[in-house]
Amino acid sequence: MKFSLNMNHVYALIALGIAVCTTDAAKADEAHAVKLYNTYCVQCHGVNRDGNGINSANMAVKPRDHTDTKAMGDTPDETLFKAIKGGGLAVSKSVLMPKWEGVLNDDEIKELVAYLRVVSKTTAK
């Protein structure tokens, strides 16, 4: 069977290439977000991301359960970004959520927001 490449095939290949690269980039971002989460967030939000971090035993306010689809689904990306960057007080929540702007840059915070959508099985708002 003879296979000839027409322009539609070329477009399809380009589209596939872009899709593969985008997926790879998204996977790399998510892997980095997991590393960040495991470094900074796990201490309070827990190995299972459910608010049961090692430190939660000593906290008056329980850390947010990131697997809570309902509560996370009701929280816009902008609020999540602000909470990570400026801490709980920036979104009228507990002082026990510290601000991370001295450690994480805006791109890293955006990666974490995207990762929280994966953890909570919610979509961006």
Tell me: does residue 82 bind other proteins (CB under 8 A): no
As to burial, measured by CB atoms within 10 angstroms (0-12 exposed, 13-18 middle, 19+ buried), residue 119 is buried
Contacts of 96 (CB under 8 A, 6+ apart): 44, 59, 60, 61, 63, 88
- Asked if 107 contacts 70 with a C-beta cutoff of 8 angstroms, the reply is no
Stretch 26-55 residues interacting with other proteins (CB under 8 A): 35-36, 38-40, 42-44, 46-48, 50, 52-55
Stretch 88-117 residues interacting with other proteins (CB under 8 A): 95-96, 98-100, 102-103
The count of residues interacting with other proteins (CB under 8 A) is: 29
For other proteins, the closer of residues 42 and 114 by Cβ is 42
- Asked if 50 contacts 69 with a C-beta cutoff of 8 angstroms, the reply is no
Tell me: does residue 67 bind other proteins (CB under 8 A): no
- Distance, CA of 69 to CA of 59 (rounded, Å): 23
Tell me: does residue 79 bind other proteins (CB under 8 A): no
For other proteins, the closer of residues 6 and 92 by Cβ is 92
CB count within 10 Å of CB 50 equals 17
Binding stretches for other proteins (CB under 8 A): 35-36, 38-40, 42-44, 46-48, 50, 52-60, 87, 95-96, 98-100, 102-103
